[in-house]
Amino acid sequence: MPSLSYQERSLYGELLADLAVFVPYFILIHSGHPSISFIAGSITILILAQIILQSIIAIATRNRLKDERDRLIALRGYRSGYFTVVSLMLVGMALLWVHSMHDELNAGHMGLHFLSVFFAVLMLAEVVKTVAQLIAYRRPL
């Protein structure tokens, strides 16, 4: 296993925090109705987990240099994340249209539904972005 750069360690930390929050969130959200406090709590835990993990990685790494290859890989990751957001948004809009055609939408839960869907889309895009970057570090550019 080759030594990891600061950027790679940081990405693994990011992925760990994302999965640690998103997997329980995804399981719990499917076992009941989402609430604003649950989604807000998940976002807060995610931010705190990221801060703690990134701080530990930064303290444990002496050389925190970011070079041209790191920047190129970051761009590739953001491109993958962007395509994920766009694709999932299109799927979401199509589903919304299908539900509206069958009068299945409850106006009272609409806001909450959108909030949980947006959070899920952002989390999935974040995971895809991070995984794409980690793969790029191991493949020829």
Partner 1 sequence: MPRIRNTIRELRAVREMTQQQLADRIDLTRQTVIAIEGDKYSPSLETAFRIAQVFGVPLEQVFQYEGKGKR
Nearest to 17 by CA among 63, 45, 50, 54: 50
Residue 10 found at the interface with partner 1 (CB under 8 A) = no
| Residue of 70, 78, 89, 92 that binds partner 1 (CB under 8 A) | 70
Residue 133: Cβ-neighbour burial (10 angstroms; 0-12, 13-18, 19+): buried
Minimum CB distance to partner 1 smaller for 30 or for 139: 139
- The amino acid that residue 122 corresponds to is L
Nearest to 23 by CA among 51, 49, 55, 57: 49
Residue 68 found at the interface with partner 1 (CB under 8 A) = yes
Minimum CB distance to partner 1 smaller for 74 or for 89: 74
| Residue of 27, 67, 101, 108 that binds partner 1 (CB under 8 A) | 67
Residue 12 found at the interface with partner 1 (CB under 8 A) = no
